[in-house]
Amino acid sequence: MSASERQIQDAYKIAQDRYAELGIDTDSVLKAVDGIPISIQCWQGDDVLGFENKGGSLSGGIATTGNYPGRATTPDQLRADLEVALGLIPGAKRVNLHAIYLESPTYVERDQIEVKHFQTWIDWAKQKNLGLDFNPTLFSHANAEQGLTLAHPDAAIRKFWVDHTVACARISEEMGKQLNNPATMNIWIPDGFKDNPADRATPRALLVEALDEIRKQDTATAFHKNSVEGKLFGIGAESYTVGSNDFYLGYAATRKMLLTLDAGHFHPTENVGDKISTALLFVPELLLHVSRPVRWDSDHVVILDDALQGIANEIIRSGQVDKIHIGLDFFDASINRIAAWVIGTRNTRKALLISLLESAKELVSAEHNFDFTKRLAFSEEDKSMPWSSVWEFYCLSKGIPSGREWYNTVVKYEQDVLSKR
């Protein structure tokens, strides 16, 4: 054992004793945080281009900024990059795929995709002991160029996207079956208008009709869960979004399906964590897309800030972790893409750990006794507790670099692999 490893163990023993004074068993906390899955978005590795077309381009309100070298351009490259990131992140993990990440020697239209186009991903996930999640891709396509998909006034275009989403549901269910690990399929559409619409009602009525048609052919099973994701606005849809949060909260509640809350899809000053306790009263489960908006939905790499901690606090405080699916959604091409995965996922896990180390019983007791002074004082003192010593020991126990050491692995991979692409 190295000197630094002994220091980490010694620091953990001190932290363990200090938390024990508050009635918190750090060993139990580590077991709990290790078992919470985080679904890592594959699209951080290739700038959301996918493998449907060589040299594909983005449209439909999706934009990636930056041109850092080393972007994955094949499925094998993307999986290799993911493996590097996964090896630097502790805890249970999943990988989230979009439909454009299919593998086929010839072009396959989106309403014709099948399980066979994702079988290599399924086999890989099984080998790596990963769960998979899935998303229909309703952007970057000729049938999305007018800014409308499932809410399009043309019935033929709506049917195309309905058929695509149903095909994705079949793939998602098969992923869950083969991995014996339920897959969550999230439906997001870019539909909206850049300027003020004259008719707000019709597109939403058409969207309800299309979603109901999808549900007729796509019923949730033990291996497949479907979710719908709202948005405040997007590029090209600044004035009106058909699938707003209000729309989807109502839809998910009345159809008893999952609701997706994306941290980047609200006003940057909104407390997304506050929405968790509300939504769970009306929908069976939640899917979270953890992202970081900066003045707009810009999908920045997640940092350990108040917004992230607020989300993690509400996940843990809810007591319904089993009903909340945590996924990441950011894509930054201005920095090393693998480092972005590692930074964002580790920060999300850190936030969950901090929440689990909170003196929750004392805070709740103080609140129920209307002792708001104690609640504030103790919640602030919790922030100074040695959670970082617990984190470092957690990483050490999992054979994962606990501090800056992980960066050396990424730099070497960039030198040996990414720089040669």
pLDDT in tens, the chain (421 residues): 788 889 999 999 999 999 999 999 999 999 999 999 999 999 999 999 999 976 666 666 677 888 999 999 999 999 999 999 999 999 999 999 999 999 999 999 999 999 999 999 999 999 999 999 999 999 989 999 889 999 999 999 999 999 999 999 999 999 999 999 999 999 999 999 999 999 999 999 999 999 999 999 987 789 999 999 999 988 888 899 999 999 999 999 999 999 999 999 988 889 999 999 999 999 999 999 999 999 887 899 999 999 999 999 999 999 999 999 999 999 999 999 999 999 999 999 999 999 999 999 999 999 999 999 999 999 999 999 999 999 999 999 999 999 999 999 999 999 999 999 9
Same domain, 126 and 216: yes
Domain contains 351? yes
| Identity of the amino acid at 353 | L
- Let me know whether 352 and 370 are in one domain: no
Residues 343 and 401 in one domain: no
Using CA of residue 239, residue 240, residue 241, residue 244, what is the dihedral sign?
A: positive
Are 16 and 106 found together in one domain?
A: no
For residue 389, the enclosing domain spans 1-24+360-421
Same domain, 106 and 14: no
Residue 29 domain flag: no
Q: What is the C-alpha to C-alpha distance for residues 112 and 242, in angstroms, rounded to an integer?
A: 26
Q: Are residues 109 and 165 in the same domain?
A: yes
The helix or strand, by DSSP H or E, that contains position 48, with its residue range, turns out to be none
Query: What is the token pair recorded at 68?
Result: 């850092």
How distant, in Å, are the alpha carbons of 4, 117, 236, 239, 244 from that of 196? 60, 40, 12, 5, 15
Task: For residues 257 and 242, give the distance between their C-alpha atoms in angstroms, rounded to a whole number.
Answer: 19
Number of domain units in the chain? 2
Q: Looking at the annotation, which residues are catalytic?
A: 188, 229, 231, 262, 265, 289, 297, 299, 329
Contact status, residue 257 vs residue 287, Cβ threshold 8 Å: no
Output the pTM of the full model.
0.95
